[in-house]
Amino acid sequence: MTEEKVKVLIIGSGPAGYTAAIYASRAGLNPVLITGGEPGGQLTTTNDVENYPGYPEGVNGPQMMMDFQKQAERFGTDVRYGMVTSVDFSSYPHKAIVDEKHEITADAVIISTGASAKYLGLESEKKYANKGVSACAVCDGFFYKGKPVALVGGGDTAAEEATYLANICPKVYMIVRRDELRASKIMQERVMNTPNIEVLWNTETEEVLGDGEAVTGVRVFNNKTGEKKDLEIDGFFVAIGHKPNTDIFKKFLDMDETGYLKVVPGTSKTKIEGVFVTGDAADKVYRQAVTAAGMGCMGALDAERFLQAKEFETA
């Protein structure tokens, strides 16, 4: 096991991690950023990003993350490809193990590990990812303006995304595997009072249909009767939840029942001094690139102030 001491360690490389790196680098904190198993995060699975400020013509998701990385490196961030496999926040300074072979001790740790969208697990779903299949209606709904779409899910997020899509799409099929919605009462009422949302109860997805280039429909079946039918759609949205990539922090940090890390409201601070959380690892409400970047800024500023206070204490 090799060992190393750094001032700031950033775990994760999406908009939150890279923004934290930009701010920390400019503050002279010489951050080391470990990319994680999916360098660039969820945006690397998105073809077109049109709602991030500063890209008036839109931008390819992977290209955008390359831009973020270049900017972080320009100011001196040490970007390393690897995976933090375990951490130890039981004593200060904090420790992290990278790829089970390298130990980094850090005065401040910024967690930016993000979350992963849950999918149904169908082969056809994978085949048409970014060709009509999406896990974010707010991100990608615009591309299906004026076109019929389907959405899978029955919780608050699904209800919210269905009503969002109903504002721009003539028809929204809401595929719900039970005979009721799990969403809150007010969200259920919104769905039921939106005329162009058709809820398909006791219904599950068998296959996403397409022409090889784009989604053209979806085959569903009633899990009570077995009856199958094909729906003609152009977009297929999955809204069955996200799983935060936070398992390695369970022993040390507070999290909710889903795994989102808890912070002191209005900050990126956790219950452990010197450990900060940014982006989708903590945000279960907005989950947008621009909000993740904003939280990355908060994490770096909080870490900088923490380190300044530490230096003052020991001076």
**3-class secondary structure, 13:** coil
From first CA to last CA, the distance across the chain in angstroms is 32
Distance from C-alpha of 34 to C-alpha of 44, rounded to nearest angstrom: 16
- 28 CB-contact burial (10 Å; exposed 0-12 / middle 13-18 / buried 19+): exposed
Distance from C-alpha of 140 to C-alpha of 159, rounded to nearest angstrom: 16
Active site residue 297: no
Catalytic choice (139, 280, 283, 302)? 139
Active site residue 136: yes
Active site residue 139: yes
Contact call for residues 79 and 13 (beta carbons, < 8 A): yes
Catalytic choice (48, 78, 107, 140)? 140
Catalytic choice (136, 169, 234, 302)? 136
Q: Write out the catalytic residue numbers.
A: 136, 139-140
